Chains A and B, each alone.
Chain A
Amino acid sequence: MDNVFTYWAFGLTFSSELEFPELLSHELDGNADVHMSWGTVPDKLTGSDVTSAQGLAMSASRYLLKIQDIAFYYVENGNRVIIERQPGADDKTIRLYLLSNVMAALLHQKDAIPLHASAVACHNGLALFCGDSGAGKSTTITAMQQKGYQIFSDDICVLRLSCFLKENICAWPSYPVVKLWENSYQVTGTHLAGNEYQLRAGISKYARFYHSSFSREPRAIKHIFILETKPGISHPQEKRLNASEAFEALISKTYRPVQVSGMNKRKVNFSIISKLAGGVSVSRLTRPEGYNSIDAVTQLIENRLKEVN
């Protein structure tokens, strides 16, 4: 019988035939929420509710992703993942696609929303940093860590309609890895790990593991910062948004937005995002392009967090 590894991630428990150093090991108390195994995936998905593109097909409860020379992935009913390894593939890259696109699909199948945001713990809750790829989420939480804040999650925070803590919307973390570009290590003065933590050959992005300080408990969202760069400004600015502006900023920030429409999750996405926009304070944090303003950025963040709490 194959080895089975058990983990906690994204608010779910996993039983997996693949080993994931990225994930937090976890002793199961009963059955796992999700089973992941090697196997053969369906050739394609059929049905009137299926949308397909090159190498990708999905419906509300089935998801098929084919990455040539790496792996084919199939997710079903929010509880089963099958991975079909392709010849010549390396394990790390197989895991990279699984932890991003495939996990997002799994969460959508469970009516959870993966928000494209990193977060730090603050005053009994969370400060979220929301933005597109390259907006500075991981760099910002690393800089905040150096000011004494504990990192809660990198890249994805999981939201569910059912998750409230004393009327505050709460979020679960993803897994204990911060993924930083090489120059972000320099910007934040963090020590760059060795090449074994490089995410993919040819890409200068590296992983920092923080398993020993990772917490599985969901926390109440206290404030959301929308991170953006803007040409033509000379220093970082931060501005509070009203509920409509917050909604507009947040509605596009679901991770892997194509899955929201393809998997028929617009209703859930709208419900959660509009609750968030109406119930949490949100501000837009814009910084100049092209130079390192991280100290000014963290100052603005700390000022706002003092005000919010």
Chain B
Amino acid sequence: MKTKPITPETIIYKNDDRFLSNLLGDELVMMDLSTGDYINLNPVGADIWDMLTEPISVNELLNRTVNTYHITAEQATPPVFDFVNHLYEKNLVLIQSHLA
């Protein structure tokens, strides 16, 4: 059970060593090499996953999502937070640090 809460200042990065991914059509399938579990990302999730080429703060992810999909921050916040929490629960991303 994860104890660190995700906040807008949280910086996250891909857990590359543990996951292998492959594009299937316009979805992304990722396999957890240590458990054999796999997870599908739909096209929007795959886009957001693509933004994680470097460690990035959740705030910056929100900004990019707002710009990419032409939605407001209010519209973007719940799904992006849900998605990031989901990635964190599944060990797909790790937390680098919290900014003060």
Contact = CB atoms under 8 A, between A and B. Distances in A.
Contacts of A275: 22
Chain B contact residues: helix, strand, loop or mixed: strand
A277 B27 CA distance: 12
Q: How large is the interface on A (under 10, 10 to 19, 20 to 34, 35 or more residues)?
A: 10 to 19
Chain A contact residues: helix, strand, loop or mixed: helix
B94 interface: no
A278 B23 contact: yes
A75 to B, nearest CB: 22
Contact of A270 (B20, B23, B25, B40): B20
Given A244-B25, A270-B31, 8 more contacts: A243-B25, A243-B27, A244-B24, A246-B24, A248-B38, A260-B36, A270-B20, A270-B22
Contacts of B38: 247-248, 251, 270
B40 A267 contact: no
A266 interface: yes
Residue among A261, A266, A271 facing the most chain B CB atoms (10 A cut-off): A266
A266 B36 contact: yes
B95 interface: no
Interface of A: 242-244, 246-248, 251, 260-261, 266-267, 270-271, 274-275, 277-278
Contacts of B73: none
B33 interface: yes
Nearest to B22: A274
B80 interface: no
Contacts of A266: 31, 33, 36
A247 B20 contact: no
B40 A261 contact: no
Contact of B25 (A260, A261, A267, A278): A278
A277 B20 contact: no
A283 B15 CA distance: 33
B56 interface: no
A56 B27 CA distance: 38
A243 B36 contact: no
A246 B23 CA distance: 13
A274 B29 contact: yes
B22 A244 contact: no
Given A244-B40, A247-B29, A251-B38, A271 B24 contact: no
Contacts of B24: 242-244, 246-247, 274, 277-278
Contacts of A251: 38
A278 B21 CA distance: 12
Nearest to B26: A243
